[in-house]
Amino acid sequence: MKISVIGCGYLGAVHAASMAKLGHDVVGVDVDADKVASLSAGQAPFFEPDLPELLLEAGDSLRFTTEMADLNTATVHFVAVGTPQQQGSNAADLRFVDAAIESLLEHLKPGDLVVGKSTVPVGTAARLAERVETTGARLAWNPEFLREGFAIKDTLTPDRLVYGVRPGGDSDAVATLDEIYATAIAANTPRIVTDYATAELVKVSANAFLATKISFINAMSEIAEVTGADVTQLADAIGLDDRIGRKFLNAGLGFGGGCLPKDIRGFMARAEELGVDQALSFLSEVDAINLRRRSRMVDLTREVVGGDLEGKRIAVLGLAFKPDSDDVRDSPALDVATRLVAEGAIVTATDPQAIETARRRNPELTYVATAAEAARDADAVVLLTEWRDYKTLDPAELAESVNVRAIVDGRNCLNPVAWREAGWLYRALGRPQHAPVAVS
Ligand code: UGA
């Protein structure tokens, strides 16, 4: 099919490349000429495993442009622009979505299908449909559930497809989307056809649930910290109940990134507009628990270096909001690093992929390429993003670089026994100071 993708940021670039991989003829449109130039040259403007290969592999079936007019031959138009948090408010900023739809209108032909992918407040699709339908085109809402780091896989083999269509149903839109996702449909991927509001809510409520699950286990961390319990064993034990499940129960520094934090806030803001703010007031607790973990991490680091961070050398391992990403938007790791600096610590930070993105936001931090360099003469090492490189660090080898063998594991991803046996003071969020009972 001939497809356009409007907005070639994280979501759009991945979607465009994945649609080309599925055999469609795709044009990606973005107002950012640098981004378009980079994508056209087969270079991803951000780190995402497998994306560069897909961009190169696509050949003529994938083009990028800044000209809206270049999408005239496409009949399906995906809208994949960002919906960041508004400055000074919890609400989502819909400027980019509105601008994308408005500039699309003059290029739409009767029978075209516009497909919303951006995460929007419930009610947005119904409003935009009125604009789109003035051209004889139709609107569907098809939320995206991809995770950074697994974005290509999540797009090519999604665990579900959700189509929100106009009131009264839209069999043409459903048939078109089925044709686009023919590979996933053939693999029996569950597909839910629903109304606009439900489709919009599926996306934000899924992210709200995931955020709640993380904050739940982090709240248990707070209890574990005052009772001497071990939150990782607690998570393992409750996670064995398949009604609960072990996924997304990793206690630690909490969630960040461009989605979960702003989506729960945008959801609360929308509920307030709808007069049902009480329904989501628990999400403000979810947000608060999440942010408290960052403060606790700083407290623990201060404690480990003897009560005062002033002049202490701290090695920061990890800056990205999660591994396999160079994204530092609302990154708990970067936040902790800057708070340590604010207390007078001499921070040397590293990350396998996110040094450049972090440097753009926080040029005042000192960045080095490797964990060993960051750890040189350190009074404490803090692990803030659970990259594989850090999970597999050899405690004996790292001990050769540091001044003091002290590590604070902000992601509960190291083996305390191995680190303690190598002579390290090992501290972690939600775990006892003594060695935990061996897990059988
Ligand atoms: C999230 C959702 O998982 C996707 O389904 C959704 O499509 C996406 O947002 C979006 O709205 O576009 P993503 O932001 O890539 O994806 O990251 P996640 O893998 O969900 O992780 C979010 C944060 O939670 C990270 O900071 C991670 O470190 C943290 N996390 C995750 C935990 O602290 N504990 C866990 O057990 C799991």
State the DSSP code for 85.
B
Q: Is 211 helix (H, G, I), strand (E, B) or coil?
A: helix
Q: Are 300 and 330 in contact (CB under 8 A)?
A: no
d(CA 162, CA 190): 9
Contact 68, 75 (CB under 8 A): no
User: Average pLDDT for residues 266-290, to the nearest whole number?
Assistant: 98
Looking at ligand 1, which residue's alpha carbon is closest to its atom 3?
147
**Nearest ligand 1 atom to alpha carbon 147:** 15
In tens, the pLDDT along 331-357 reads: 999 999 999 999 999 999 999 999 999
Closest-CA residue, ligand 1 atom 5, reads: 145
- Tell me: the pLDDT tens digits for 370-389? 999 999 999 999 999 999 99
pLDDT at res. 439: 45
Ligand 1 center–CA 32 separation, angstroms:
26
Of ligand 1's atoms, which has the minimum distance to the CA of residue 144?
Answer: 7
Mean residue pLDDT across the chain: 96
Q: Does the Cβ of 254 fall within 6 Å of ligand 1?
A: yes
Q: Residue 437 above 80 pLDDT?
A: no
- Overall pTM surpassing 0.75 (yes/no): yes
Please tell me the residue having the least CA distance from ligand 1 atom 35: 248
- Please give the Cα distance from 140 to 40 (Å, whole number): 28
Q: Is 259 a catalytic residue?
A: yes
Averaged pLDDT, 288-300: 98
If you write DSSP's letter for every residue of 278-290 in order, what string do you get?
GGGTHHHHHHHHH
Per-residue pLDDT tens over the stretch 29-59: 999 999 999 999 999 999 999 999 999 999 8
Query: Shortest CA distance to 61 belongs to which of 49, 48, 74?
Result: 74
Residue 151 alpha carbon to ligand 1 centre in Å: 12
46 lines ligand 1 (CB under 6 A): no
Substitution site in 210, 247, 253 for ligand 1 pocket (most atoms within 8 Å of beta carbon): 210
Does ligand 1 come within 6 angstroms of the Cβ of 321?
yes
Mean pLDDT computed over 168-179: 97
Question: Left (φ > 0), alpha (ψ -120 to 50) or beta: where does 383 sit?
Answer: beta
* pLDDT surpassing 70 at residue 111: yes
Q: What percent of the chain has pLDDT over 70?
A: 99
pLDDT value of position 316: 98
Q: Is residue 440 pLDDT above 50, yes or no?
A: no
Percentage of the chain with pLDDT > 90?
A: 97
- The answer to whether the CB of 214 is under 6 A from ligand 1 is yes
H/E element, 264: helix 260-273
Active-site residue (options: 3, 202, 251, 259): 259
User: How far is the C-alpha of 191 from the C-alpha of 355, rounded, in Å?
Assistant: 39
Domains of the chain: 2-189 (3.40.50.720), 208-428 (3.40.50.720)
- Ligand 1 site, residue 119, Cβ cutoff 6 A: yes
Average pLDDT over residues 180-188: 97
Q: Is the CB of 210 under 6 A from ligand 1?
A: yes
What residue type is assigned to position 386 of the chain? Answer: E
Ligand 1, atom 27, lies closest to the CA of: 255
Q: CA-based angle 414:429:309, to the nearest 5?
A: 100
Residue 7 has pLDDT above 60, yes or no: yes
- Mean pLDDT, to the nearest integer, of 267-275? 98
Asked whether 430 lines ligand 1 (CB < 6 A), one says no
Tell me the mean pLDDT in the region 101-120: 97
What is residue 407's predicted lDDT score, i.e. its pLDDT? 98
Give the pLDDT score at 434: 73
pLDDT in tens, 64-110: 999 999 998 999 999 999 999 999 999 999 999 999 999 999 999 99
Which residue's CA is minimally distant from atom 2 of ligand 1?
Answer: 147
Residue 436: is its pLDDT beyond 60? no
| The predicted structure's pLDDT at residue 433 | 85
Give dist(CA 335, CA 18) in Å, integer. 33
- Is 18's C-beta closer than 6 angstroms to any atom of ligand 1? no
Q: Is the CB of 147 under 6 A from ligand 1?
A: yes
Confidence of residue 435 (pLDDT cuts 50, 70, 90): low
Maximum C-alpha span of the chain: 71
Give backbone dihedrals phi and psi of 391, rounded to 5 degrees, phi first.
-65, -25
* Average pLDDT estimate for 6-32: 97
